[in-house]
Amino acid sequence: MDILFTQPLLGNSELFFEGYRNTLILAVGALLGASAIGIVGASLKVWGGTLLSPLAGAYVEFFRNTPLLVQLSFFAVLLAPANLGITGSPIVVGLIGLSIYTGAYVTEVIRAGILSVDPRQIETARSLGLSQVQALRLVVLPQAIRTVIPPLGNLAIALVKNTAIVSAIAATELLKVAGIIETRTASFDGYLAALVAYWTLTIPLAIFVDVSERRLGYSR
């Protein structure tokens, strides 16, 4: 622990934990945002018909096939007071950008979850007297969740790692804070501590994914 809590870090501990907190806010907030987008996106893709389904598909393809850095920079400029005037806060831009980017991946994961359930099961459930909502809730959902949980866990890991890119639009998250500490104290310890801080988030998530895969019967 002595290695970690060196003088440059102790002197800037408040700043460091602000960075840690902001990374957490970005990750948790964007996970919620991306889940909401993903549920809507997947529903549109599966049940959206001629118009909405390709629209959702275009959203997925576009945001998955361009760099997050370009998207974030674009949103930072677009939402800035000088243009749309929605927000100048890098954290808010980061939340929006990460949600939209990750939402594209979540859409695909949830869509695969929905499609993993044989549609004949819905027909069977309906013919047994269940309503459409009941059939979805009691028959489709429990099976779809099984398929969806491990990949969603993986997306959460990717999301935590992607919060680092928000430093590029000057959000004071872990990596940015490490840079500030380096400028202030000429010490590299901020960066090393940031690595460890990321691991405190990603490694437990990785273990969760591993366990859930085994529990849910994925062969490895």
Partner 1 sequence: MTAISVARRRLPVGRLVLVAIAVGLVLAGFATGALPANRWEPFLLASTWTFLGRGLIVTLLIGGTSLVASLVIGIPLGIARASLTGPVALVVRGWVELVRATPILAILIVIFLGLSRLGLDLEAVQAAIVGLTLYNSAVLAEVVRAGIRSISRGEVEAARSLGLTFAQTMRLVILPQALARMAPAIVSQLITLIKDTSLLFILGGQELVGFGRSFFNFYGNLLETYIVLGAIFFAICYPLSRVARRLEAGQPAGERIVVSGEADQLATATSAR
* Angstrom distance (rounded) from CA 22 to CA 34: 17
DSSP secondary structure string for all residues of 23-54: HHHHHHHHHHHHHHHHHHHHHHHHH-HHHHHH
Contact flag: residue 95 with partner 1 (CB under 8 A): no
Q: Which residues in the 139-158 window bind partner 1 by CB under 8 A?
A: 150-155, 157-158
Contact flag: residue 51 with partner 1 (CB under 8 A): yes
Q: Which long-range contacts (CB under 8 A, 24 or more apart) does 76-82 make?
A: 76/169
Contact flag: residue 94 with partner 1 (CB under 8 A): no
Q: Which residue has the tokens 């901020």?
A: 190
Which one of 6, 28, 40, 73 is in contact with partner 1 (CB under 8 A)?
A: 73
Which one of 71, 99, 107, 172 is in contact with partner 1 (CB under 8 A)?
A: 71
Torsion of CA 127, 120, 43, 61, to 10 degrees: -170
Which one of 4, 58, 170, 211 is in contact with partner 1 (CB under 8 A)?
A: 58
Which one of 175, 177, 181, 193 is in contact with partner 1 (CB under 8 A)?
A: 175
| CB neighbourhood size of 177 (10 A) | 26
Q: Closest separation between CB of residue 92 and partner 1, Å?
A: 18
| 40: Cβ contacts below 8 Å, ≥ 6 apart | none
Structure tokens at 51: 């118009």
Contact flag: residue 210 with partner 1 (CB under 8 A): yes
Contact flag: residue 64 with partner 1 (CB under 8 A): yes
* Angstrom distance (rounded) from CA 180 to CA 11: 12
The residue ranges that bind partner 1 (CB under 8 A) are 50-51, 53-55, 58, 61-62, 64-71, 73-74, 77-78, 83, 105, 109, 150-155, 157-158, 160-165, 167-168, 175, 179, 182, 188, 191-192, 194-195, 198-199, 202-203, 206, 209-210, 213, 217-220
